[in-house]
Amino acid sequence: FVLLGRAASHEMEPVIDQRTIEKFRYLRGKMFISLGENWNIPRMAEEVNFSPSRFHAIYKEIFGTAPMTDLIKARINSAENMLLFENRSISEISLSLGYQNTTHFIRQFKAVTGFSPAQYRKTHRSG
């Protein structure tokens, strides 16, 4: 009965319309272009006119990941490129990506890549 109830509830979930998908894609692009801004769920939800909980569910449905996880991965990816191709300090890079705390940035970077930013730069930079 539990499985039947779950199956029935999934069938009743509304399909996300194309206009909503486009709004979310636009927001995601805006976030990725401005990684240094203070992005949080309430701000993201407001940008697309949804409640934070509904926003979170729709975002995950469209992109297959939670919004903050997506943002963190984008920030870390950007940091990887900066570490390889720029000579800015780790502190400068973390601030440019919206981190107020360099230690927090280092922890997140290591959780995603397996390296500290300094190790990553030393190991992956050629020359």
Residue 13 has pLDDT above 70, yes or no: no
Q: What is the mean pLDDT of residues 62-90?
A: 97
Residue pLDDT, tens place only, 17-67: 999 999 999 999 999 999 999 999 999 999 999 999 999 999 999 999 999
Angle, CA 47 vertex, CA 24 and CA 58 arms, to 5°: 40
pLDDT confidence bin for 127, thresholds 50/70/90: low
Q: Which residue has the tokens 């569910």?
A: 57
In this predicted structure, what is the pLDDT of residue 5?
A: 58
